[in-house]
Amino acid sequence: MQNNLFWVGAGDLAQRCVSGLDRSAWHCTALKRHCPTDSVFDQIVLADVTLAESLQNLPQASHIIYSVTPSERSPDAYQAVYDSGLKHLLASLDLNALQRFVFISSTSVYGPDPVPQDENSMLKPTSFSGQTLHAAEKFLQQELKDKLTVIRFSGLYGPGRQRIFNSLRQQSLSINPAMDNYANRIHSDDAARVCAHVLHHAQPHSCYVATDSTPLPLRQLYSHLSQRLKVPAPRFDAQQAYESKHFSNQRLLNSGFDFLYPSTLQGYDLLLDSLASITHES
C-alpha cells in the first residue's frame, strides 16, 4: 500500500529527502507558495499557510512534514507560519487519515547550558524564534498527541549552506577568549535522511534532537576552517556573549540512524573539497 506524503514548505530539505524515498511506496505532494521551475514531487499544491482560503481541498495525507520558511526573520513572520499557519493547516486537513505529522523545529527552543542537552532537557528559549517554535510544539502536542514527531535540528551546513566561509573571509566573526561557545551542526544530507528515517520508523519517539556526533568549541571549528581557507582566524572579543549549547544525539543513534557525516570537521572538509573541485573544473 502506498503512503501519501504531504510536505508543507518544500525547500532544499524536502527535495533531498524525497529524492531518496522509494517512489513505489510513497506518493509525494508538496505545498508551496510559488510554482517551482523543477521538482522531485509527484504533485504540487500552490497555497500559503498564512492564507486560510488557499488551503481548501487539500489532498488526503497519511504523513505530513511541516518545514515552512518565514518570509523574514521577525516575530510577526514567525507567528504567521508557526501559529496562524499551523492552525489554518490543521483546520483544513482530514486528521483521521493522518498517521504521522513531523514538525521541523530547532535547537533554538533550548536555552544556554554548559552541559549536554537532549530531548528531556528543560526548554528555555531566549530568542523570539525559539519561543515561537516552542509554542508551536506545545500546540501540536495538544492537537495531535501520539501522531506527532518533532525534529529539533541544530545548525545545518552543506551545499548552498556555506555562509560561514564568507564570514571567515570577511573577518566578521569573533570569539570570547575566556568563554567559548559550542558549535552544533548537521550536514543537510543527513538532515534529509533523518526525516526519511522518522517517516519509515514504525514507532518513532515524540521528539528527536538531530545533530551530528561531534559538537565542538567554536574556536576549534573556526581555526580549522580558517586554515583550510587560508584566512586569519577570527578576532578575540571579550564582549562576545556566552550563550553556549551542547547537544546529544544519543536517542537518534539508539533508533538505528547512521550518519553519513558524523564529524563536523570532516563534513566541512568534504564540502570544501567539493567546492574546490567545482571551481577547478569551471
- Tell which residue, 93, 96, 129, 123, has the closest CA to residue 111: 123
Per-residue pLDDT reduced to its tens digit, 195-238: 999 999 999 999 999 999 999 999 999 999 999 999 999 999 98
On the CB side of 39, CA atoms within 13 Å amount to 19
Per-residue pLDDT reduced to its tens digit, 261-272: 999 999 999 999
Give dist(CA 176, CA 93) in Å, integer: 48
Please tell me the CATH superfamily of domain 3-157+186-215+245-262, with its number: NAD(P)-binding Rossmann-like Domain (3.40.50.720)
The whole-model pTM stands at 0.96
Summarize the chain as % helix, strand, coil (round to 5): 40, 20, 40
Per-residue pLDDT reduced to its tens digit, 37-61: 778 999 999 999 999 999 998 999 9
Which of 150 and 181 is assigned the larger pLDDT?
150
Whether residue 279 is predicted with pLDDT greater than 70 in this model: the reply is no
Question: Which neighbouring-strand residues pair with 43?
Answer: 29
Domain ranges, ordered by start, for the chain:
3-157+186-215+245-262
